[in-house]
């Protein structure tokens, strides 16, 4: 029987102009649906796991579209609550060369943000679950969402379910101070913490010394120290950090590190030409969860996670629509991009 992973968070409608058009130029928009935890659930379903997504969406036709899209990608929607006024929307303007990408959110008053913490029956939701994943976006949506996260973490911990969290700090949702306070209450429940090069600093004031993200300079020893401090402060068993060197909006260096409390394991560095970077961090989280729940050793786990997210950068929209075989082919060294016959 496939391992079961439950994810909890907001899913939104994504609208983006065609190609590299700016928002002010757009006459038509591409429509898709995505959100951090939903993206992870889709990745895991693609990898053959039993993935369930918990959230709340409206009862009207847009909510129906969300359910259809998740089911189409193999995600269990049994615990997707229906009700509330609206689905959040975000607009993506793809960057090019030295022009950065932009994301504009219109999510205030969404169904999940207005949901009460006691609407979720975590006893039923966690039946048969092996893993629970959430991100720092969910508790930032409202005080009730933060309480729901806390209740979920307590329920999962009581059942011996592994808990992972992607810090995913969003300054447009809450301040560094509020994030640090709320996440500080949630993090002691977390077994596996996922972060990027900025999250730990923004949320907990833990910085990697000697790193210049925009200049593409990354200090490996500094990231090991960041991971060690997170483990020591919150008792996490593992910390994974994505390492992005931004050369331009189109070209990045991409790697990752996994720290197990004693030793650090680094992936190779991929030089990626970006088709769509939105969802890149979520695809890393999905790859990491799959590899760890499948009992990969630490080196193989970080190699798989980084290869998965590398491939996501070549795919339009947020979902990482790749198979385990495709990820393993890249992780094992075949990154030529030659036609597979």
Alpha helices in the chain (DSSP H): 36-46, 61-72, 111-114, 122-125, 137-140, 143-158, 176-186, 199-204, 220-234, 280-293, 298-312, 324-331
E strand or H helix that includes residue 1: none
Number of domains in the chain: 1
315 class by beta-carbon count within 10 Å (0-12 exposed, 13-18 middle, 19+ buried): middle
Strand 264-266 with 251-259, pairing: antiparallel
Return per-residue pLDDT of the chain as tens, 341 residues. Answer: 899 999 999 999 999 999 999 999 999 999 999 999 999 999 999 999 999 999 999 999 999 999 999 999 999 999 999 999 999 999 999 999 999 899 999 999 999 999 999 999 999 999 999 999 999 999 999 999 999 999 999 999 999 999 999 999 988 889 999 999 999 999 999 999 999 878 888 999 888 766 555 555 568 888 999 999 999 999 999 999 999 888 998 999 999 999 999 999 999 999 999 999 899 999 999 999 999 999 999 999 999 999 999 999 999 999 999 999 999 999 998 765 654 54
DSSP state of 74: T
User: Does the residue 250 lie in any domain?
Assistant: yes
Q: What is the pLDDT of residue 304?
A: 98
Full domain range(s) for residue 100: 4-330
Q: Residue 306, exposed/middle/buried by CB under 10 A (0-12, 13-18, 19+)?
A: buried
Q: What is the CATH number of the domain that holds 132?
A: 3.40.1190.20
**Sheet architecture: strand order including 89-93:** 29-34, 12-17, 89-93, 102-106
Task: Let me know if residue 274 belongs to a domain.
Answer: yes
Taking residue 305's Cβ as centre, other Cβ atoms within 10 Å add up to: 29
Query: Are 324 and 47 contacting, i.e. CB atoms less than 8 angstroms apart?
Result: yes
pLDDT of residue 244: 87
Instruction: Judge whether 336 lies within some domain.
Output: no
Residue whose C-alpha is closest to residue 93's, from 276, 253, 244, 282: 276
pTM value is 0.94
Task: Name the token pair of 234.
Answer: 């919150």
> What local confidence, expressed as pLDDT, does residue 214 receive?
53
In this structure, the strands spanning 251-259 and 270-273 are antiparallel
**Is 338 domain-assigned?**
no
* In the block, residue with structure tokens 């757009």: 26
């Amino acid at each position: 029987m496939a391992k079961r992973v439950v994810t909890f968070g907001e899913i939104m409608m994504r609208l983006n102009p065609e190609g590299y058009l700016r928002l002010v130029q757009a006459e038509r928009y591409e429509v898709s649906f995505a959100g951090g935890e939903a993206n992870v659930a889709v990745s895991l379903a693609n990898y053959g796991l039993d993935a369930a997504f918990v959230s709340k969406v409206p009862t009207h036709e847009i909510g129906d579209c969300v359910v259809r899209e998740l089911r189409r990608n193999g995600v269990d929607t049994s615990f997707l609550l229906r009700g509330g006024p609206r689905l959040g929307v975000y607009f993506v303007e793809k960057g090019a060369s030295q022009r950065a990408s932009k994301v504009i959110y219109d999510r205030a008053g969404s169904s999940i943000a207005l949901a009460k913490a006691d609407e979720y029956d975590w006893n039923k939701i966690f039946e048969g679950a092996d893993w629970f994943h959430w991100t720092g976006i969910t508790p930032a949506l409202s005080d009730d969402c933060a309480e729901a996260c806390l209740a979920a973490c307590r329920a999962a911990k009581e059942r011996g379910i592994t808990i992972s969290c992607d810090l995913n700090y969003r300054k447009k949702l809450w301040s560094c101070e509020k994030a640090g306070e709320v996440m500080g209450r949630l993090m002691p429940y977390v077994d596996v913490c996922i972060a990027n090069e900025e999250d730990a600093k923004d949320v907990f004031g833990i910085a990697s010394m000697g790193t210049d993200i925009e200049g593409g300079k990354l200090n490996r020893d500094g990231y090991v120290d960041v991971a060690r401090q997170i483990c020591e402060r919150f008792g996490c068993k593992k910390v994974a950090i994505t390492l992005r060197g931004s050369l331009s909006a189109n070209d990045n260096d991409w790697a990752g590190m996994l720290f197990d409390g004693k030793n650090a394991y680094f992936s190779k560095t991929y030089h990626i030409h970006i088709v769509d970077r939105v969802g890149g961090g979520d695809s890393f989280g999905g790859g990491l969860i799959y590899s760890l729940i499948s009992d990969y050793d630490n080196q193989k786990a970080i190699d798989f996670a980084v290869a998965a997210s590398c491939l996501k950068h070549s795919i339009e929209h947020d979902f990482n629509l790749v198979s385990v075989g495709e990820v393993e082919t890249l992780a094992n060294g075949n990154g030529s991009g030659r036609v597979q016959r």
